[in-house]
Every structure is written in C-alpha cells, then in structure tokens.
Amino acid sequence: MQKESHLKKSLLKTIRAFINILPIIVGMLLATSLVVTLFPEEISTGLFGNGVIPDAMLGATIGSIAAGHPLASYLLGGELLSGGVSLIAVTALLVTWVTVGIVQLPAEALMLGTRFAVYRNFISFGIAIIIAFLTVYTLQFLGAA
Amino acid sequence: MPKQQKRSGVGGWLFLALVLIGYGLSFLLNPELTTDALTFFRRVIQQVLPVLGIVFLFLFIANFLLTPTKVKHYLGKESGLKGWVASIVTGIFSMGPIYAWYAVLAELQKEGMRAALIATFLYSRAVKLPLLPLMIYYFGLTYTSVLCLYLVVFSVIQGLLIDRLMPHKT
C-alpha cells in the first residue's frame, strides 16, 4: 500500500518535472535550428590561419556557438583539417562542441542555476584550449602527429 | 507545487516565448532562412522524440529510487571517491542531448548532489561511447585515445574548480 502510494507520488512528480522541461527543450531546439541555419559551415572554413593561439581560440569559439550532433563536429573538423587548419584548432572545436553550450546556456541556467552555468561554460572553454594543446603535444611526443 | 518548481516552469515558457519572438523577427528579415530553420527543427525534433521517452524514464527512476539520503551518500558532500567515479561513469554512459539531462540533474541537485559532481558528469559526457568508432575513423585511434583520456582527467579538474567557486549548501 505504502509502495503503491510512493509509486504514484513519483509518477506525478515526474510528470510535473517533465511538463516544466518541455518548453525549455522545444525552445532550445528552435534556437539551435535558427543558429545552425544562420551560420553554415562554409563561413567558418575561411576564418583560420592567424597563428596557433588565435586559431585555437577561434576553433573553441565556433564549437561553443555551434549546436548539433557531435557527428557534425567530426565532419566539420575533418574538412577543416584537410583544408590546412591546425589540429590544435580542430581539437579545441571538437571539445567545446560537446562541453560548452552558448545556445543551451539559458536552459542550463534555468535548470541548474545561472552562476553554475556561467562558471561551468567559462571553465569548459578554457579547459578545451588546454586539452587541445596537450593532446597535440602528447601525439607529437608519441610520434603520432 | 513547490515555489521553486512553479518559478522554473514559468521561466521555461518565457524562454520559449522569447525564442518564438526571435523567429518572428527573423521571419520579417529573412522569411526563406526562417523557413529553412523550421524545416531543420522538424527534422531534429523527430530525432529527439524517442530520447524524450528515455528522459521521462530516467526522471521517474530518479524520483522513485533516489532519496535524499541515498543521493547524499553516493553524490553528496560525503560521497568521496565513489562520487567522482559514479559521476564520470554515468556521464560517459549517458545518452541523448545535454539539455535533456539538465532536468535529471536539477532533481538530483535538489536531493543534495554536489555541484562539483554535476560539472564532472556534464564534462565526462564529452566522451561519446557510441561515436568512438567514427571518431577513430576520422582522427585515428591514438588521437581518440589521448583525447578521451584528457577529457576524463579534466572532468575531475573541472569538478574541483566548480567546487571551489560555488558556495556550499549546508
């Protein structure tokens, strides 16, 4: 009897929470769709070639703004690499693509708190650049780059 | 309904309203591009719908099984090493879009999950298990292994940084 009541209570709580997140998810998807359509891949390819650090910053910035399936970042990263863009910049892009979310920031702030969301995204951006350099230097050390 | 939940509900609808206003403005400036964006949205929502079912299930499991005592034990202040390991492992295995997980994490946060472990969970999600074969295909096995290793290590570093920056709830 007590278990049944707990089950019912949990279900109601879940439905309430789900109704609360629905407008955020739909809004997020709408915002993402608009951003992806506004900034097609061709724009980003011609922007690199200004030195390792500016390129890494640019890669990280594009990855932070871009929203979409991570697979799209592999495709874009692959294209940029074959277009002569450095592996550091491409790695920064790949990492921020999945760790920083400028478009998702309002949703993250609403759900987890503004302070947390801002700190987390800011730190993730910095870490992505560090990881990009470390990954490429490690590959060079291993003789694989 | 708790006050906080009521507020976040209103915030969600406001956010959606703002996005729709953005679409309205965009349509006035460039109707063709806005139509393209809506077509893109229709395609994405079709892909996301099944994931929403999984989110609902996870939310229900979290609500049914997790009590504040349990959450505090595994992911709270006193969780120690097992809390970090649990955050990394669940982060790596979590599927679907990141924003879908915010709801689950917000529930866990209310139950006492540490901000540091939420940050670690979110960062370790960068290791995309189902996509690893594709990443290896595009960038090679060595690159993928090195990058994933750094992602896991830095998920903990990010958690530690967040721990220092966020005020601790008593």
Proportion of chain B in helix, strand, coil states, percent, rounded to 5: 85, 0, 15
Record: contact A131-B13, CB cut-off 8 A = no
- The pLDDT score that the predictor gives to residue B35 is 93
Residues of A in contact with B134 (CB under 8 A): 71, 74
Q: How many residue pairs bridge chain A and chain B with CB atoms within 8 Å of each other?
A: 185
- The pLDDT score that the predictor gives to residue A38 is 75
Percent of chain A with pLDDT over 70: 88
CA distance A132 to A141: 14
The SS3 of residue A145 is coil
Task: Return the minimum-mean-pLDDT range out of B9-18, B66-75, B120-129, B132-141.
Answer: B66-75
Task: Return the minimum-mean-pLDDT range out of A7-11, A43-47, B42-46, B90-94.
Answer: A43-47
- The pLDDT score that the predictor gives to residue B71 is 64
Residues of B in contact with A38 (CB under 8 A): 33, 37
Mean pLDDT of chain B: 82
Q: How far is CA B45 from CA A28, A30, A33, B50, B126, in A?
A: 11, 9, 10, 9, 22
Is the C-alpha dihedral spanning B98, B103, B106, B108 positive or negative? negative
- At residue A144 the predicted structure's pLDDT band, cuts being 50, 70 and 90, is confident
Record: contact A27-B18, CB cut-off 8 A = yes
Question: What count of other Cβ atoms lies within 10 Å of the Cβ of residue B71?
Answer: 22
Q: Does B136 touch chain A (CB under 8 A)?
A: no
Q: Calculate the CA dihedral of residues B44, B50, B56, B57 and round it to 10 degrees.
A: -150
Percent of chain B with pLDDT over 90: 36
- The pLDDT score that the predictor gives to residue B46 is 83
For A98, residues 6+ apart whose C-beta sits below 8 A from its C-beta are A70, A73, B98, B125, B126, B128
Record: contact B5-A20, CB cut-off 8 A = yes
> Which site among A26, A90, A105, A142 would you substitute to test the B interface, given the most B Cβ atoms closer than 10 Å to its Cβ?
A26
| B169 vs A52: which has the higher pLDDT | A52
Mean pLDDT of A46-61: 88
pLDDT of B122 higher than 50: yes
pLDDT of B170 higher than 60: no
Residues of B in contact with A114 (CB under 8 A): none
pLDDT of A43 higher than 70: no
- The pLDDT score that the predictor gives to residue B18 is 92
pLDDT of B7 higher than 50: no
CA distance A34 to A8: 39
CA distance B5 to A101: 24
Segment A40-48 long-range contacts (CB within 8 Å, at least 24 positions apart): A41/A76, A41/A79, A44/A76, A44/A80, A45/A79, A45/A80, A45/A83, A45/A85, A48/A80, A48/A83, A48/A84, A48/A85, A48/A86, A48/A89
Mean pLDDT of B99-128: 86
Record: contact B63-A7, CB cut-off 8 A = no
Residues of B in contact with A39 (CB under 8 A): none
CA distance B67 to B163: 23
Condensed to tens digits (0 to 9), the pLDDT of residues A74-124 reads 877 877 887 788 999 999 999 999 999 888 898 899 899 999 999 999 999
Most confident of A3-7, B92-96, B119-123, B130-134: B119-123
Question: What count of other Cβ atoms lies within 10 Å of the Cβ of residue B168?
Answer: 9
Residues of A in contact with B35 (CB under 8 A): none
Record: contact A135-B150, CB cut-off 8 A = yes
Most confident of B9-13, B51-55, B141-145: B141-145
